[in-house]
Structure 1
Amino acid sequence: MSRSNRNGFSLIEVLVIFAIIAILFALALPATRRVHGAAARMKCSNNLKQLMLGAHSYADNHSTTSQSAERPTATDSLLPTGCFGPGKSPDERLSWAAALLPHLEQDDLFKKLDVEKGYAANLTAIQAPVKTFLCAGSQESSTNPTLTNYVALSGIGLGAAEQPAGTAGNGFMGYDRRTSFTMIKDGTSNTIALIETRAGLGPWARGGPSTVRGFDPADAPPVGDGRPFGEHGGGANVAMADGSVRFVSGKVAPHNLAAAITIAGGEPFDLD
């Protein structure tokens, strides 16, 4: 009597196995994306912290003595201007991000810059990638390392960066406006300094709207020609002037965001 041995799988069994694998993959994919998204958001938060540490370090090394009735011989720590160096327009000049390089452990790169010349004259030097200026969740982080996802907020109105000190609605930084921490009357923990953006990205070394933008509450949520909300789904990381970082929902009321952007408006706001 002959006996037949069964080897391998039947077609139905193979199909069942593939179906199970497909189901498991479908179940695992959202979780994997959430993990990657959380990791990118954390790296982005760390980038903003590093940038603000650099800004504070810069301010500590650039101070001036001011006089007033309340503070006869006070020393103010000065933040960088939004752009510096020669150029007929802000986007022909170098940016605050370039000024921070020595305070971001990028001394060698800073030494390659000719700060007596504008942005175009430094194109060769700025091709080196600086990961601190790019959000890990940005598609551009691997395709164009000269861009930045982070902009300084100049205040209320798309032309706020050009307003002089003392103008109502001023924000953390203007093109040629130098801000000191004592000018932030709303409190450094209550003032947004930097925000991430995903559209209209520009080079980190370039002055102008590539790195400094105003906020128009009537046209929320764009900040200048870029939108602050998007890379992490549902909101954006923001750096406060004290160096802390928080996540702000994309559904935040425009007037609340505007109140948090001004440095001396005294407006109440809720970013939660």
Structure 2
Amino acid sequence: MKRGCLIVGAVFVCSIVVYVVLAAKASQGAARRSQCVGQLKWIIVHLHFYHSVHGSFPQGTIPNLGLPPERRLNWVVELWSVLGIGAILKVDPTKGWDEPPNWPPKVVASENVTFQGMEPEDSGDWVTCPDHRRPRKPFPLTYVGVAGVGADAPRLPSKHPRAGVFGYDRATRIEDITDGTNQTMMLIETARDLGPWTAGGPSSVRGVDPATKPYIGHNRPFGGYHPGGVNVAFADGSVRFLRHSIEPSIFEGLSTVARGERLPTAWDR
């Protein structure tokens, strides 16, 4: 009887330990997801500030007709000018992201500004989801600009019905988003085909390719960090969690700025 009680007691203790560990992991996961939402909100606020200064959101890549989009600097580099984080990003827009002086990315403190608790090169960590498992420097960009529908969406001209907010050579204005800013995705998480946070091309601007359904989840084009779905920043400044189960047609409709899709009521429930 005594031995049986000891076994039952041991099983009970082990069960409690497992429960505590799982609860702690769940809590940590929720905290990282919340931090991810905060980072996306911070980026989208500054994209709107950029719009107020320049009259449009930034192009997906910094203009350079001498380089293919995959070698140009990207929209994050262009956004840097309005961040106000007390750091200067040293770049030469005539050069590719992968050649000196642009590689490796060089961030220096502004005059009379010191970095509290981090090195200048760490100031790029806001472009990486906290759930990214293999942090490295330069940090990978896990928040990509939504280019519209189709693998060719980043290269579509302005006013094309399949075009999204970001394109390699197009700059979108709020008034161009006639589908509604609350129904148009700007940024979305991805765990696939990542690149350094300054690199242009599909690692920073990506279309919703119908050939890659389902779109969201582990080893899918978007998501892969948070169980059940993906964090998305919309053109109205909101950040919402889209579930894996979202209808592909709705997801495609959310990726364009002026295609005129009619989305069902409560599509995000």
The reply to whether TM is greater than 0.5 is yes
Q: Does 1:118 align with 2:112?
A: no
Q: Does 1:94 align with 2:73?
A: yes
Aligned partners of 2:47, 2:171: CA distance in 1, in Å?
12
- 2:23 maps to 31
Aligned partners of 2:210, 2:131: CA distance in 1, in Å?
26
Aligned partners of 2:144, 2:138: CA distance in 1, in Å?
16
- 2:171 maps to 178
Q: Say which SS state the counterpart of residue 213 (structure 1) adopts.
A: strand
The answer as to whether partners of 1:152 and 1:213 remain within 8 angstroms in 2 is yes
Q: Say which SS state the counterpart of residue 264 (structure 1) adopts.
A: coil
TM-score by length of 2: 0.84
Q: How does 1:7-46 map to 2 (within 5 A)?
A: 19-46=11-38
Aligned partners of 2:6, 2:154: CA distance in 1, in Å?
64
Q: Say which SS state the counterpart of residue 237 (structure 1) adopts.
A: strand
Aligned partners of 1:105, 1:226: CA distance in 2, in Å?
34
Aligned partners of 1:220, 1:182: CA distance in 2, in Å?
30
Query: What are the ranges of 5 or more consecutive residues in structure 1 without an aligned counterpart?
Result: 1-9, 63-76
The answer as to whether partners of 2:59 and 2:169 remain within 8 angstroms in 1 is yes
Q: Say which SS state the counterpart of residue 22 (structure 1) adopts.
A: helix
Aligned partners of 2:206, 2:91: CA distance in 1, in Å?
24
Q: Say which SS state the counterpart of residue 33 (structure 2) adopts.
A: helix
Percent identity for Structure 1 against Structure 2: 34
- 1:209 maps to 202
Counterpart of 2:83 (choices 100, 104, 122) is: 104
Q: CA RMSD in A?
A: 2.3
- 2:229 maps to 235
Q: Deviations over 1:160-194 (max 9, x none)?
A: 10011011111011000111111000111111111
The worse-fitting range, judged by mean Cα deviation, of 112-121 and 95-104 is: 112-121
- 2:256 maps to 262
- 1:197 maps to 190
Aligned partners of 1:136, 1:19: CA distance in 2, in Å?
35
Q: Deviations over 1:2-59 (max 9, x none)?
A: xxxxxxxx99998776544322111112211211111111111111111111111111
Query: In structure 2, do the counterparts of structure 1 residues 271 and 12 end up closer, same or farther at CA, with 3 Å as the change threshold?
Result: closer
Q: Which amino acid aligns with 1:134?
A: T
Query: In structure 2, do the counterparts of structure 1 residues 252 and 222 end up closer, same or farther at CA, with 3 Å as the change threshold?
Result: closer
Q: Does 1:57 align with 2:49?
A: yes
Query: What are the ranges of 5 or more consecutive residues in structure 2 without an aligned counterpart?
Result: 108-120
Aligned partners of 2:160, 2:250: CA distance in 1, in Å?
19
Query: In structure 2, do the counterparts of structure 1 residues 184 and 20 end up closer, same or farther at CA, with 3 Å as the change threshold?
Result: same
Aligned partners of 2:252, 2:211: CA distance in 1, in Å?
10
Q: Which amino acid aligns with 2:133?
A: Q
TM-score by length of 1: 0.83
The answer as to whether partners of 2:67 and 2:96 remain within 8 angstroms in 1 is no
Aligned partners of 1:156, 1:265: CA distance in 2, in Å?
10
**1:60 Cα shift?**
1.1
The answer as to whether partners of 1:109 and 1:125 remain within 8 angstroms in 2 is no
Query: In structure 2, do the counterparts of structure 1 residues 201 and 126 end up closer, same or farther at CA, with 3 Å as the change threshold?
Result: farther
Counterpart of 2:133 (choices 114, 128, 139) is: 139
Aligned partners of 2:236, 2:158: CA distance in 1, in Å?
20
- 1:82 maps to 60
Q: How many residues align?
A: 246
Larger radius of gyration: 1
Q: Does 1:221 align with 2:201?
A: no
Query: In structure 2, do the counterparts of structure 1 residues 189 and 135 end up closer, same or farther at CA, with 3 Å as the change threshold?
Result: same
Counterpart of 1:152 (choices 137, 145, 148) is: 145
Q: Say which SS state the counterpart of residue 193 (structure 1) adopts.
A: strand
